[in-house]
Structure 1
Amino acid sequence: MFHQLRVAEVCPLTDDSVTISFEVPDELRAAYWYAPGQHITIRRQVGGVEIRRTYSLCDPVPADPIPGASATGSASGPRPAPASGPVPGASRGPARLRVGVRLVEDGAFSTYALKELLAGDVLDVMTPAGRFVLEPRPGRFAAVVGGSGITPVLAQIGTVLAREPAAGFCLIRSDRTAASTMFLEEVADLKDRWPDRFQLVSALSREDRRSGLPSGRLDADRLVTLLPALLPVSAVDAWFLCGPLGLVGAAEHALNALGVPRSRVHQEIFHVDEVPAGPAAAGPTSGGGTVRVTLDGRGGSWPSAGGESVLETVLRNRSDAPYACKGGVCGTCRAKLVSGEVRMDRNFALEPEETEAGYVLACQSHPVTPVVEVDFDA
C-alpha cells in the first residue's frame, strides 16, 4: 500500500549518489516497520506516466519494535516479524526511513532525486517488502556486494551486530573507485564499533591502492581463491549476495564451487541489462484466456489479451496490484500459482525454493493454459 511521505533530507553520498530520508507520521509508523534487508517502492508521475522504483532501506532496524504489532500486511506478501520482541515503552515504529539512490544514465527517478528533489517534497512510498532479510541470530554471516548493493546489507550488519553479541559478519565489497564508494564512512564506523566481530574487505575495479586487495573485478575464479583465505567458508551460516547481475552470478558460482549449500545463499539483483523475451508460448492463450486472482482478500476473474502478462491483465482490472520494476528483479509482484501453467520470461528475484513451491513473478508470467489462477496473498 502506498502513502504520501514528506522528504526530510536529501544528502549527497558521492558525486553520483544521495540518501533520501522520509518522515513517517505517527499514525503510519506501524505500517512502515521493516526487517533488515527490506526495501520500499517510490512512485512518481513523469509526463503523465507513472514510474516506480525500488530502493533498499539502509539504516539498522530501530531498537524498539511495535508492541503487539502484526508481522503481516506488506504490499507484496507476508512481512517478516520484527527483529526482536516488544519492550516496555517501545515506540510505534520508525520515525524515518532512509534509502540510498545512485544515478542511472537517463534514469527517470534517479536523475530527479539527485538534481531536483528537495526536503519538504512529498512522494508516494509503498510499505516495506522483500525477503532478502537477515533476522538477528547467533552465527557467522558473510556478504559479497557491488556498488549500491551495499544498501540492504548495511542495514543487516548494523542490526545483527547490535542485537546479537554472538554474531559475526564478513563483508566483501567491490566498487569502481574509492570516490564512488557509497556509505564509506558508515561502514568504517561499523568496523570501529565492532572490530572483533566485523571483518571488512574492499576491492576496487578501476583504481590501484597501496594496501588491500589488488585492483580488478571480483570474478568467479578470483572469489574461489579469495574467500577461503578470508574465512572458513563452510562455517558461514548464511551468505548474502547483492549488486549487479555479473557480480552476484560470479559469487554464486564461486560458492557453489566451494561446496556451499544453495540453501545458505541469498541474493538480490540491483541491475540487469535487457534481454530478449523467451519464445512465445504455444497453445490456446495466443488468442487470450482467463486469469483468476486473489488480491487483498478479494477474488476476480478476467479475460487475458493475447501475449500480455498476468500482471498486465490484473492491472487492467485492479490498479492496486503490487509491482515495481516489471523486469523480474524486485519480486514485488510475487504470487502463488494456484492452478494452470505459466511461462516466466525471466526471474532474478525468486529463490529456487520459492519457484519449487509454486511462486511466480506476475510481471514475467504468461498464461500457457486456458485458465490460470494466482494468489497474491499467499
Structure 2
Amino acid sequence: MARFHPLPVAAVDRLTDDSVALTFTVPVALRAEYRHAPGQHLALRRVVDGTEVRRTYSICSPAPAPGDEGPSTLRVGVRLVEGGEFSTYALKEIAAGDEIEVMTPAGRFTLDPAPGLYAAIVGGSGITPVLSIVSTLLAREPEARFCLIRGDRTTASTMFLEEVADLKDRYPERLQLVTVLSREEQQAGLPSGRLDRERLTGLLPALVPVAAVRGWFLCGPYGLVQGAEGALRGLGVERARIHEEIFHVDLVAPTTTAAAPAHSTVTARLDGRAGSWPVRDGESLLETVLRNRPDAPYACKGGVCGTCRAFLVTGEVRMDRNFALEPEETDAGYVLACQSHPLTEKVEVDFDR
C-alpha cells in the first residue's frame, strides 16, 4: 500500500519563470519503499486551513538499478497552475530544509528497459516522467534508442532544457531530439506551430520508422495526447503500443447517464481489511470509503493520476471519466474509485489487487 512519509527538501531549483524542480532526501530506512519504475509519480500532501491538499508530480530522476537499495534522492518537476494551491506554494514558499509529506511512488506510465526503438511525444511539463524514462533506458540498455518529440511555447518556458541537452550530448547516436515551439521561431529545425493530429500524421513517418517503435509514450495536455494518439492510430500503430499520461484536462461530461439505485452499499478491501458502508447520494466510491477508511489511496480525485485504482469484484459502476487506466486495465475489471458511482445495490472493490 502507498504510504506518506515526511521527506526533507534537499534543493529547490528554478527551471523557468513558472516552474521548479524539488529534490527530496530519502533516508536509508525508507529507500526500499521509494524504489520506483521510470515514469512513476509522487503525491505531495499539505494541510491548508484544516483541509488536506494533495497533488501528484512525476519523478524526473532516473530509476534505481535492479538490486539497488533504492534512491537516496527523488526529484520532481512542478509547474505553476493558475490558482493552483500546491503549485503556488511550491514556487513561492518551499525552501531547502523544509519537510514535505510524500507518498511512496505510484503510476503505470512506465517502461521496463529493454533493447529496441522507443519514442515519446510530450508537451510542456509532460517532459517530466519521460525524462526519467529516457535517462533510465539509455543508461541500462546499450541496444536501446529513443526519439523524443517535444512541444513547448518558447525556449524560455521549456522545462528541463539543460537536462535533455545533457542526455543528447551523452547519447548522440541513440537519442533523437526534435523540438517544436508554438510561439517562437527557431533558427534551425522545424517551423513553429502546435503538434496537432494533422501535423503529427505528416511529421512522424519522416522522423522514425513508425511500425518499428516498440512503445510510444504520450504525455502532456489532453488535446496533445488525444491528437497524438489519433495520428498514431491513423498510421497503423496498435493501441497496446501506445501509453498515455494526461496532465491537464478540461471538464467533460460523464460518459454515461445511467441511473443509480436509491440505496447502495460498497464493500472495499484495503490493506488486508474489508468493510461495508452505505453510499450517500451523489458520492463516488472513493468518497464513501474515505469517510470510513482515511487511508484509502488517492491523489488528484480527477480521474487523471490512477492512484485510486481498484478491482471491481462484484456489481456495476459508472465512471464519470477516465484518463488514467489503459483499455486492457478496464477490460480486466479495474476502475477509478474517485470517478466511480454505483449502478447496483451492492458493489465490491479491492484496492489490494
In 2, Cα distance between the equivalents of 1:54 and 1:212? 33
Residue 123 (1) aligns with residue 100 (2): yes
In 2, Cα distance between the equivalents of 1:279 and 1:161? 43
In 1, Cα distance between the equivalents of 2:236 and 2:254? 32
Give per-residue Cα distances to partners, 1:203-234, cap 9 Å, x unaligned.
00111112111101011010000000001000
In 1, Cα distance between the equivalents of 2:143 and 2:134? 13
Q: Which amino acid aligns with 2:349?
A: V
Query: Of residues 10, 21, 24 in structure 1, which corresponds to 2:23?
Result: 21
In 2, Cα distance between the equivalents of 1:278 and 1:146? 26
Q: Which amino acid aligns with 1:55?
A: Y
The equivalent residue for 2:134 is: 157
Aligned pairs (5 A) from 1:298-317: 298-317=273-292
The equivalent residue for 1:72 is: none
- Secondary structure of 2:74's counterpart equals strand
| TM superposition outliers: structure 1 runs of 4+ over 6 Å | none
Is the Cα contact below 8 Å between 1:243 and 1:269 reproduced in 2? yes
Is the Cα contact below 8 Å between 1:288 and 1:307 reproduced in 2? no
Residue 208 (1) aligns with residue 185 (2): yes
Q: Which amino acid aligns with 1:62?
A: P
Is the Cα contact below 8 Å between 1:9 and 1:119 reproduced in 2? yes
Is the Cα contact below 8 Å between 2:260 and 2:342 reproduced in 1? no
In 1, Cα distance between the equivalents of 2:254 and 2:216? 30
In 1, Cα distance between the equivalents of 2:263 and 2:247? 33
Aligned pairs (5 A) from 1:190-269: 190-269=167-246
In 1, Cα distance between the equivalents of 2:155 and 2:257? 45
Q: Which amino acid aligns with 2:310?
A: A
* TM-score normalised per structure 1: 0.91
Q: CA RMSD in A?
A: 1.0
Query: Of residues 71, 75, 88 in structure 2, which corresponds to 1:98?
Result: 75
Q: Which amino acid aligns with 1:349?
A: A
**Amino-acid identity (%):** 70
Residue 186 (1) aligns with residue 139 (2): no
Number of residue pairs aligned between Structure 1 and Structure 2: 351
Displacement, 1:281? 3.5
The equivalent residue for 1:77 is: none
Is the Cα contact below 8 Å between 2:80 and 2:88 reproduced in 1? yes
Give per-residue Cα distances to partners, 1:234-270, cap 9 Å, x unaligned.
0000000000000000000000000001010000001
Q: Which amino acid aligns with 2:299?
A: A
Q: 1:208 to 1:333 in 2, by over 3 A?
A: same
Query: Of residues 267, 274, 277 in structure 2, which corresponds to 1:292?
Result: 267
Q: Which amino acid aligns with 2:62?
A: P
Displacement, 1:280? 4.9
Displacement, 1:277? 4.2
Gap regions ≥5 residues in structure 2: none
The equivalent residue for 2:344 is: 369
In 2, Cα distance between the equivalents of 1:143 and 1:283? 40
Residue 347 (1) aligns with residue 322 (2): yes
Give per-residue Cα distances to partners, 1:341-369, cap 9 Å, x unaligned.
00000000000000000100000000000
The equivalent residue for 1:67 is: none
The equivalent residue for 1:31 is: 33
The equivalent residue for 1:42 is: 44
Displacement, 1:274? 2.0
Displacement, 1:62? 2.9
The equivalent residue for 1:6 is: 8
Is the Cα contact below 8 Å between 1:11 and 1:19 reproduced in 2? yes
Displacement, 1:276? 3.8
In 2, Cα distance between the equivalents of 1:23 and 1:211? 40
Is the Cα contact below 8 Å between 2:120 and 2:216 reproduced in 1? yes
- Secondary structure of 2:266's counterpart equals strand
In 1, Cα distance between the equivalents of 2:55 and 2:263? 30
The equivalent residue for 1:110 is: 87
* TM-score normalised per structure 2: 0.98
